[in-house]
Structure 1
Amino acid sequence: MSKKRVYTFGNGKAEGKADMRNLLGGKGANLAEMNLIGVPVPPGFTITTEVCTEYNQLGRDQVVALLKPEVEAAIANVEQLTGTKFGDAKNPLLVSVRSGARASMPGMMDTILNLGLNDEAVEGIAAKSGNAWFAWDSYRRFVQMYGDVVLGLKPETKEDIDPFEEIMEERKHAKGIELDTEFTVDDLKDLVKRFKAAVKKQTGKDFPTCAWEQLWGAVMAVFDSWTNPRANYYRRLNNIPDEWGTAVNVQAMVFGNMGETSATGVAFTRDAATGEDVFNGEYLINAQGEDVVAGTRTPQNINVVGSRIWAEFQGVSEEERKSRYPSLEETMPELYKELDAVQQKLEEHYKDMQDMEFTIQSGKLWILQTRSGKRTAAAMVKIAMDLLREGKIDEKTALLRLEPNKLDELLHPVFDSIAVRSAKVLAKGLPASPGAATGQIVFFADEAAKFPQSILVRIETSPEDLEGMNIARGILTARGGMTSHAAVVARGMGKCCVSGAGGVKVDYRARTMTIEGKVYKEGEWISLNGSTGEVYEGEVLTRKPDMSGDFGLIMDLAAKFTKMDVRTNADSPKDAQIAKEFGAKGIGLCRTEHMFFEGHRIKAIREMILASTVDGRKRALNKLLPYQREDFEGIFEAMAGYGVTIRLLDPPLHEFVPHQLATQRELAEEMGVSVDVIKAKVDSLEEFNPMLGHRGCRLGNTFPEITEMQTRAIIEAALNLKAKGIDARPEIMVPLIGTVKEFDMQAGIIRGTANKVFEERGDKIDYLLGTMIEIPRAALTADLVAAEADFFSFGTNDLTQMTFGYSRDDIGTFLPIYLDKGILKHDPFQVLDQEGVGQLVQMGTQKGRSVKPDLKVGICGEHGGEPSSVKFCHRVGMNYVSCSPYRVPIARLAAAQAAIE
């Protein structure tokens, strides 16, 4: 039996259903499901994601041959349901062709509407509908979209001119009009003629008139768009595998541009910015879907409440609002009620906030799409907790609904309330995506990295701007509503965005924006309040956000299910305290070298390095001892009752000595030696490859007095706290071992020093002694090491570096190319390489526990706060992961999800 490649839907029947999203893509699966639950959906069919893979392997001709019988049968089914004929001149079936991956990728791939039109069919549509303007407007749109998407006329860079837009602007200028809806039928006919001439000029071929040729061109173009630059970038950003592919959805067209009783819009069952249980959305009368999201016309709100809020933001009076910007609830009350009932039905069915696209054609409502809506982190948390409180989902589902990385948005600054009160408001737009952003103005997405902090200012954004939107601190657009591309993408990224700020006039050529006559140039500072829609002049002070309420409840839920602790990487009491407030259960990495760079400490460490005798080194180290002890006391107190893993000195000594002549002279004077002595010592410390040189346990084994001083500081600090009744739990970690003998030698020094301190003080304290597994050989011989060690901590930063043979400091020269060419799927220093490095981690854990079943195992590299890496650590059976303080909530949620999954 041959493989099924096409699944039909329509008239309440469907061959697919919601749980087939891997095969049908999210859009196709939901179109089928909506049919099955009685939602009005235009009939059509879905070509599966598997065909996209076949297309990439076999090419166009073979895939068309494979698809042809099923697609012809599916078209016949749509013809029968609509009473139209594909390719017919008098009663033509027109279709839309849209992408639909299994994970939502809004605006990243291509869409073609009104397919099936030609010079004869447009007359047939005009006669059948009695509306020549609508017919020719649809034809104009089709030639433009098909030319851009299928025939390759879309500009590739900001310098290129879109021939279709240029032709339209010329016509508008000649007629003194601003909007597309002001074109006459004759204007539209002339535009179609000139559009087709532009196609002929640029491609050397006539615009295709055969409906079947148009359809196959559109289907293949959608498959091609799976690998366009913006889709590739979006997948990398959201960890969507390249091999998934996209489905193609072909649907009978329904028209929102058939006059004043027709409309199109986007709606959300809850507020995507705040999470409030408020039905909201936007619509346009006499328009097609892309008009709403493109921002070319400012849309109106679907309900009275939203419309009034919008008017207040824009400074529009209630009288003007009702006459110029009425809501759908006011213009089409019965259809609004029907839409409201559909949104309630969809949310009840999917048990999640839905993002819907709808069209009203001559007074009849159609739903074109539903999907779980993109939302800000604040909305994500509130919606999950509200649905839990409403009894619609259980605790496990609430946790699994959350994206751990999005919690990062909640931990970022908001504007200081005093500073923002005195800030000058330049303009007001729509609060499209909440948060605070301050930065320097840039006007082009590919220049967003021009300044350390940038605000991307655009008339409107498009999918090509994705990378720049990701880099910028915030986004400001002059056009577009709450469902514009800028708004939806910014919310998905957790990026502050103000859209539809009509008072902002952007001049790309001059690289300026003008507000009420005042000109602001590229590089000038502005600030955006994505929660109020306000644009401020200059920099505005920010502060930390509030972490209470539903966020706290989510963390409580995570604690209920997680089986793996989350610790923090902290080198100061302040960092330890922040992490503890976020729920960290101990410190997985305290880097002692970070304590050596302040004030008198750096002088003492330099004195130790420059000393030529053991006694000289010990004298210098004795000066460091009280500083180290004091630091450890503060950290132990901040993390009382929890384990604190302290890594002994790790970096090469050359990092602590002065390399500038002026600083060397200063040091020579302090130490009473000549500058030549200092220079000679500094030169002697230089290594060809310091990261593989004299560092880590190699330092402690060649200069045991360093290990002695650090051990004494740790043990004395713990004993001092014990005397105060504070529970200090030190865990001493030896870095960079490659052989068990390296560890044994350090262990002897540490235990000997600890026993000496116990004897001196007449008191004892429990402590653990373990090692950092960061050299492949240590992982391979972990069973030998475990016989002597109390715990392992995998240092995956260095382990990744040594396993791949990549220098972290130099990877920038080739990593972007590797990611772009698909040689690597992710940056291995951000996302743990589970195949290679992960194999060493798993092997090291298993070998260690084969000797010592209760061996404590953790991870303390940057991967400790990356969700997929955290889940890997859970599967391996680690006791904990450790990450930077602000990643602790992310790791806690990921650990809970791992336990549930």
Structure 2
Amino acid sequence: MKAQEIIRDPNEAVIGLDAGDALRDAVFGRRAWKLAQLTALGLPVPAGFALSFGCVREIGAGGAMPALPDLGPPGRLHALRSSPGARAWSGPDALLDIGIGEAAIGALTERLGEAAALDRYRRFIAAFAHAVHGLDPEVFGSGREPGDAAGLRVRIADMLDVFASRCGTAFPQAPKDQLEAAARALARAWQGATARILREARGAPPDAGLGLIVQEMAPGTRAGPDGEGAIQTVDSRSGAPAFEGDFWRFETGYGRALGPRTRLALRDGAAEGGGGGPTLAEIAPDALSALGDACARIARGLGDAYRIAFVLQGGAVAILDAVPVRRNARAAVRIAVDLAKVGAIDRDQALLRIEPLSLVEHLHPQIDPAARRDVFGTGLGASPGAATGRLVFTAEAAQAAAARDEETILARVETSPEDIRGMHSARGVLTMRGGMTSHAAVIARGIGLPCVVGARELKLDAARRSLIAPDGRVFREGALVTLDGTRGEVMAGAPAMIAPELGGAFSELLDWADAARDLGVRANADTPGEARAARGFRVDGIGLCRTEHMFFAAERVGVMREMILAETEEARQAALDRLLPMQRADFVEIFEIMRGLPVTIRLLDPPLHEFLPGGPEEIAEFAAVTGLAAEVVTARARDLAEINPMLGMRGVRLGVVMPAIYAMQARAVFEAAIAVNRDARAPVVPEIMIPLVSANREVELVKARIDAVASAVEAEQDARLAYKLGVMVETPRAALRAGDLAASSAFLSFGTNDLTQMTYGLSRDDAGRFMRDYVNLGLFAEDPFRSLDLEGVGELMLIAASRGRARNPALTLGLCGEHGGDPPSVRFSKLAGFDYVSCSPFRVPIARLAAAQASLLVRAPAVSDDGA
């Protein structure tokens, strides 16, 4: 057909594929739009035209066909393909070779030979009868097909008779009649009940439109090479440059499923599934080169990597379609970065294309997607990544195995602070109880350990040291198991893994993110090791250093217990004096690591009973070491027990009632800061944070005591101190009275784990037992401990931010709960005017990208309805 014969008015029912931007996907469908874009890029797309949604709807209802362009002389064949509004909605199958009839056989015979031309005619009769009239191809007979021209002519005559008798009409010979019948059939199929249900299941609206595409087909030659194939020039798993795809060579002229065909690799080692024999590079090197150039041109013109469907006729390339290359998370980053580097997209577009949470696949080992997964238990994916190891059931067993260089998975009903050393020794952690902010989840995320919590269908038999699966399988200590902390699955055996990848395009993308974002990203880091990991992820500081985690080391927890069990102030102070150099040494190391960056140190927060020995064996062991009677230890622990310890004697209340503890910690901070700042390198300015505040009177009291310690240390050390003091907003009252708190505070940092817990009245450690049911029933859109509740908790934070800044315009605002690594929560923090978010070290890259995206979206100009 001639281009000038095709209508180009976008308001008409028919438009040419060479109409460029006038062919809109909202009117003619996504595939038609893509072909118009490829044509505009100067690529060899077969000529054709598209029928609009409205036109197809009308002809499907029995309306008149619009005026169509001339389909050309006999022997010119066409394909009819569907073009839905979105590719995911699918559509009726294509019908190829429209135009074959008695008048076309002569022209086809000249190109293909008589037998090949007649065989093609025979196949089209069966395909047309099936697509238009629903006839089963078997009604035309089966068995070995005649190979010579005479036999084919007899067979075709028989098929035409069967067609006429079954359909009540003669087989249409005119190409326009064939096209009209096929177009009506595809239009009716789109409106059928089954098709409608299937596409709505794929997300299509009830009134989704279907366009149709009519394109010339390459008729094929006897000279060859003829065939069809697909090609992409990037690796779907890594995003690196590569030739992927294959080519089907036809032995008797071009046409899908027409006669014998052979699968060829594009070039050596580049076939998907192999093939053997010669490659496309060998039989048609110019065609392969042209296809590579086409991929590059499409990437630059459309701003993405595409997989091209193509045909060859006599070695000449024709492009039939192009779809974005399927890619995993790692490949998506490499592709986006490479596109930006060649100017196909800009850096901002590259940043906005990557889902922040997908960076998890770069940060942690992952199970190979091709590996078999023998899943025997599921829970919440509390800390991403995958790990394989021998099953152990105690922290001591994990430590002993680590000493033998053996890798383990630590399984517990739930973890406690005393399990921390075992967690550090294991490769992964599994708990039967707990939620996204349980002890196991928080610690595992902090140290980058794969973790599955709340696997309530598994039964842990501590006495027999075994794990019982719902299917009855028993996994005893030493069994080889694998955790997938990304998907929340527990598997038998050791599936193949993919190693982390932190360099190359990943690192480059994050450099661009840092340049684009204006929201700070800090890390929650409690130990020098975590601080070092955070610095490696290029944080803007430490937003939460939980000092209690420094006391659980084997050589420290005993002294901490002595301090808690002391019956006199003198004995308590003596124990604190022994703890002081331990804590100071940690702060010195953390400050050295974080030179030039802020470090926010939270004073002791948890209830003291968490530090005490638990069972009779631990109590007896501690009593023997300290010389105390076991009965005394038991009685003291009983005295400290609380009905609801998370709302009891913890946080600032410890500092008010037992001021010596906070005084020791403040002294350790100040002495460490002075020691580190004595040289001329970048100084550290510690930020001391008071936890669980509810009233400004608490802040005033603790602040006065801390300022007094600072003055004493300055006098003793003959040095000046620079520090800040702020509060952790974790209670609803603190959020509502933020204006009062701002009068005494340099910063407010929102501890969203506890703030969510107290706002909802939910136990963050127990909510995992029912949270999945709540989410599945639609009661909660998402677990509020996983993604910030914007309607309730978010409103409290907005109120606090507004009232705090109204009282103190210089007030720094931060978010330091686990939500700091959740992209929607990061976007909220940006919109709320916060200065930074803080998250676990291994969530920092996610937060950096999410912060960049939030900054870009906030700066983006508004778009009017007309696109201006």
| TM-score, structure 2 as length reference | 0.66
Instruction: Give the equivalent residue in structure 2 for 1:829.
Output: 785
Residue-by-residue CA offset, 1:667-697 (whole Å, 9 max, x unaligned) = 2223333333333333444444333333221
Aligned positions of 1:309-708 closer than 5 A: 324-330=276-282, 336=288, 339-358=291-310, 367=319, 369-376=321-328, 379-413=331-365, 441-442=372-373, 545=501, 547=503, 549-708=504-663
Match for 2:705: what amino acid?
I
1-structure distance, mates of 2:686, 2:779: 42
Instruction: Give the equivalent residue in structure 2 for 1:761.
Output: 717
Contact 2:310 2:320 in 1 (8 A): yes
Judged with a 3 Å threshold, the aligned counterparts in structure 2 of structure 1 residues 31 and 766 are, in CA distance, closer, same or farther, namely same
Instruction: Give the equivalent residue in structure 1 for 2:439.
Output: none
Larger radius of gyration, structure 1 or 2? 2
2-structure distance, mates of 1:577, 1:412: 17
One of 745, 751, 760 as aligned partner of 2:707: 751
Judged with a 3 Å threshold, the aligned counterparts in structure 2 of structure 1 residues 544 and 256 are, in CA distance, closer, same or farther, namely same
Judged with a 3 Å threshold, the aligned counterparts in structure 2 of structure 1 residues 635 and 127 are, in CA distance, closer, same or farther, namely same
2:827 counterpart of 1:866: no
Residue-by-residue CA offset, 1:238-269 (whole Å, 9 max, x unaligned) = xxxx9999876655699999999875544324
One of 34, 37, 43 as aligned partner of 1:30: 34
Q: Aligned to 1:890, what secondary structure does the other structure show?
A: helix
2-structure distance, mates of 1:765, 1:17: 68
Instruction: Give the equivalent residue in structure 2 for 1:100.
Output: 86
1-structure distance, mates of 2:513, 2:768: 36
Higher helix proportion, which one?
1
1-structure distance, mates of 2:278, 2:129: 29
**Offset of residue 284 of structure 1:** 4.0
Aligned positions of 1:262-277 closer than 5 A: 263-277=227-241
| TM-score, structure 1 as length reference | 0.63
**Offset of residue 774 of structure 1:** 2.0
Judged with a 3 Å threshold, the aligned counterparts in structure 2 of structure 1 residues 276 and 620 are, in CA distance, closer, same or farther, namely same
Instruction: Give the equivalent residue in structure 2 for 1:130.
Output: 120
Judged with a 3 Å threshold, the aligned counterparts in structure 2 of structure 1 residues 335 and 713 are, in CA distance, closer, same or farther, namely same
2-structure distance, mates of 1:7, 1:797: 57
1-structure distance, mates of 2:724, 2:131: 71
Match for 2:529: what amino acid?
K
**Offset of residue 786 of structure 1:** 0.5
Q: Aligned to 2:601, what secondary structure does the other structure show?
A: strand
Match for 1:404: what amino acid?
P
Higher mean displacement: 692-701 or 673-682: 673-682
Judged with a 3 Å threshold, the aligned counterparts in structure 2 of structure 1 residues 388 and 621 are, in CA distance, closer, same or farther, namely same
Contact 2:56 2:212 in 1 (8 A): no
Instruction: Give the equivalent residue in structure 2 for 1:783.
Output: 739
Higher mean displacement: 4-13 or 573-582: 4-13
How many residue pairs get aligned? The number is 682
Instruction: Give the equivalent residue in structure 1 for 2:424.
Output: none
1-structure distance, mates of 2:67, 2:317: 18
Instruction: Give the equivalent residue in structure 2 for 1:478.
Output: none
Match for 2:698: what amino acid?
E
Q: Aligned to 1:807, what secondary structure does the other structure show?
A: coil
**Offset of residue 641 of structure 1:** 1.4
**Offset of residue 210 of structure 1:** 6.9
Residue-by-residue CA offset, 1:705-730 (whole Å, 9 max, x unaligned) = 22111111111111222335552321
Contact 1:271 1:379 in 2 (8 A): yes
1-structure distance, mates of 2:67, 2:291: 24
One of 10, 17, 29 as aligned partner of 1:11: 17
Which segments of 5 or more consecutive residues in structure 2 lack a partner in the other structure?
A: 1-9, 106-115, 144-154, 160-183, 390-427, 429-470, 472-478, 484-492, 858-868
Q: Aligned to 1:828, what secondary structure does the other structure show?
A: coil
**Offset of residue 440 of structure 1:** 8.5
**Offset of residue 787 of structure 1:** 0.8
2-structure distance, mates of 1:380, 1:741: 52
2:197 counterpart of 1:221: yes
Contact 2:32 2:213 in 1 (8 A): no
Judged with a 3 Å threshold, the aligned counterparts in structure 2 of structure 1 residues 686 and 25 are, in CA distance, closer, same or farther, namely farther
**Offset of residue 73 of structure 1:** 9.3
One of 660, 665, 669 as aligned partner of 1:714: 669
Higher mean displacement: 833-842 or 445-454: 445-454
Q: Aligned to 1:717, what secondary structure does the other structure show?
A: helix
2-structure distance, mates of 1:625, 1:575: 21
**Offset of residue 760 of structure 1:** 2.8
Q: Aligned to 2:595, what secondary structure does the other structure show?
A: coil
1-structure distance, mates of 2:198, 2:628: 73
Higher mean displacement: 829-838 or 253-262: 253-262
2-structure distance, mates of 1:563, 1:76: 57
Contact 2:619 2:630 in 1 (8 A): yes
Judged with a 3 Å threshold, the aligned counterparts in structure 2 of structure 1 residues 81 and 665 are, in CA distance, closer, same or farther, namely farther
2-structure distance, mates of 1:749, 1:226: 63
2-structure distance, mates of 1:31, 1:213: 24
Instruction: Give the equivalent residue in structure 2 for 1:281.
Output: 245
1-structure distance, mates of 2:551, 2:370: 34
**Offset of residue 867 of structure 1:** 3.0
2-structure distance, mates of 1:577, 1:390: 35
Contact 2:59 2:65 in 1 (8 A): no
Q: Aligned to 2:538, what secondary structure does the other structure show?
A: coil
Judged with a 3 Å threshold, the aligned counterparts in structure 2 of structure 1 residues 214 and 808 are, in CA distance, closer, same or farther, namely same
Match for 2:630: what amino acid?
V
1-structure distance, mates of 2:769, 2:843: 27
**Offset of residue 738 of structure 1:** 2.0
2-structure distance, mates of 1:811, 1:890: 25
2-structure distance, mates of 1:310, 1:393: 29
2-structure distance, mates of 1:407, 1:757: 44
Percent sequence identity is 34
Contact 2:78 2:217 in 1 (8 A): no
**Offset of residue 643 of structure 1:** 0.8
Contact 1:665 1:675 in 2 (8 A): yes
Residue-by-residue CA offset, 1:515-574 (whole Å, 9 max, x unaligned) = xxxxxxxx98899xxxxxxxxx97899976553x55444444333333222211111222
Judged with a 3 Å threshold, the aligned counterparts in structure 2 of structure 1 residues 546 and 671 are, in CA distance, closer, same or farther, namely same
Instruction: Give the equivalent residue in structure 1 for 2:269.
Output: 308
**Offset of residue 733 of structure 1:** 0.5
2-structure distance, mates of 1:801, 1:588: 20
Instruction: Give the equivalent residue in structure 1 for 2:93.
Output: 113
Instruction: Give the equivalent residue in structure 2 for 1:152.
Output: none
Instruction: Give the equivalent residue in structure 2 for 1:507.
Output: none
Judged with a 3 Å threshold, the aligned counterparts in structure 2 of structure 1 residues 760 and 835 are, in CA distance, closer, same or farther, namely same
Q: Aligned to 1:802, what secondary structure does the other structure show?
A: helix
Match for 2:588: what amino acid?
E
CA RMSD across the alignment: 5.3
**Offset of residue 351 of structure 1:** 3.0
Contact 1:264 1:360 in 2 (8 A): yes
Higher mean displacement: 641-650 or 560-569: 560-569
Contact 2:13 2:66 in 1 (8 A): no
Instruction: Give the equivalent residue in structure 1 for 2:840.
Output: 884
